[in-house]
């Protein structure tokens, strides 16, 4: 299982450190072996002394080593902390920050060439979900059209846009049908994301083609995220 936490614009350097220390102790004490990914804010990236199954990733980085790209970071900054994991295509970056498909593809190809583990997010808006499963699958596959889905370090996160940060979780049937449809052409691990919380972690992780979860809001409390990791380890 892969259990991932996206901090978005939350936590400081200090509270990130505390979060990771507490999580690390919990993981060790409970002998959790699942892959845990944590995506802190760019300002909280650092060298942390963590169990080998806990990785730190960047929520975003530009497709450069370094240069004149105000407000962005590149691999020079990520290398300082040995970061080799990145989130690409999150719906908040696509919709709120207007990141284009072209930019997403460039980032994907750049970080793929460097061998990064890439968590690539896809997901449909509500009007597409309301049109039916075939439309949902067509929309999600279109978001994958120009990326190499056979890349060995790719993880795909299916995150319906209408379920992100809204408290609305897709139904188990919706998640199951969508992941089944994606699985027909995708070998990469498939995560579900969208208002996952401790209470629904087990039933979501039990879905046949669900290889893990990407969690925003409910993961910011280390006690809750730790419980999600424990639930995954017991399946």
Write down the catalytic residue from 63, 90, 92, 124: 90
Per-residue tokens: 227: 């419980």
Cβ density class 61-70: b for 16+ within 10 Å, e for less = bbbbeeeeee
Q: How far is the CB of 226 from ligand PEP (least distance, A)?
A: 16
Considering beta carbons, is residue 61 or 75 the nearer one to ligand PEP? Answer: 61
Give yes or no for residue 143 binding ligand PEP (CB under 6 A).
no
51 lies in the binding site for ligand PEP (CB under 6 A) = no
234 among known catalytic residues: no
Q: Can residue 210 be called a binding residue for ligand PEP (CB under 6 A)?
A: no
Q: What angle do CA 135, 203, 194 make, to 5 degrees?
A: 50
Active site residue 31: no
Quick one: 49 or 96, whose CB is closer to ligand PEP? 96
Q: Considering the complex, what minimum distance in angstroms separates the CB of residue 180 from ligand PEP? A: 20
Quick one: tokens of 30?
Answer: 């409970």
φ/ψ of residue 105, rounded to 5: -65, -40
Scanning 55-63, 74-82, 98-106, 216-224 for contacts with ligand PEP by CB under 6 A, the matching segment is 216-224
Q: Which two tokens stand for residue 171?
A: 């139904």
Asked if 160 interacts with ligand PEP (CB under 6 A), we say: no
181 part of the interface to ligand PEP, by CB under 6 A: no
Torsion, CA 79, CA 82, CA 88, CA 93, rounded to 10: -70
Cβ contact 122:190 at 8 Å = no
Residues within the interface to ligand PEP (CB under 6 A):
6, 8, 159, 164-165, 193-196, 214-218
């Amino acid at each position: 299982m892969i259990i991932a936490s996206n901090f978005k614009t939350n936590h400081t350097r200090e509270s990130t450190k505390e979060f990771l220390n507490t999580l690390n102790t919990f993981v060790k004490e409970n002998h959790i072996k699942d892959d845990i990914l944590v995506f802190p804010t760019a300002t909280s990236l650092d060298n942390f002394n963590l169990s080998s199954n806990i990785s730190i990733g960047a929520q975003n980085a530009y497709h450069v080593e370094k240069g004149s790209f105000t407000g962005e970071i590149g691999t020079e900054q990520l290398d300082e902390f040995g970061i080799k994991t990145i989130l690409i295509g999150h719906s908040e970056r696509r919709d709120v920050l207007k990141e284009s498909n072209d930019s997403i593809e460039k980032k994907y190809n750049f970080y793929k060439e460097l061998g990064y583990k890439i968590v690539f997010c896809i997901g449909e808006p509500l009007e597409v979900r309301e049109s039916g499963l075939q439309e949902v699958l067509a929309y999600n596959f279109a978001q994958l059209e120009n990326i190499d889905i056979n890349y060995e370090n790719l993880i795909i996160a299916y995150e319906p846009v209408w379920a992100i940060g809204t408290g609305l979780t897709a139904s188990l049937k919706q998640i199951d049908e969508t992941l089944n449809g994606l699985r027909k052409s995708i070998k990469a691990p498939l995560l579900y994301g969208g208002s996952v919380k401790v209470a629904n972690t087990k039933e979501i992780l039990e879905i046949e083609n669900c290889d893990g979860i990407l969690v925003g809001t409910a993961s910011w409390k280390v006690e809750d995220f730790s419980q999600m990791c424990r639930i995954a380890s017991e399946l």
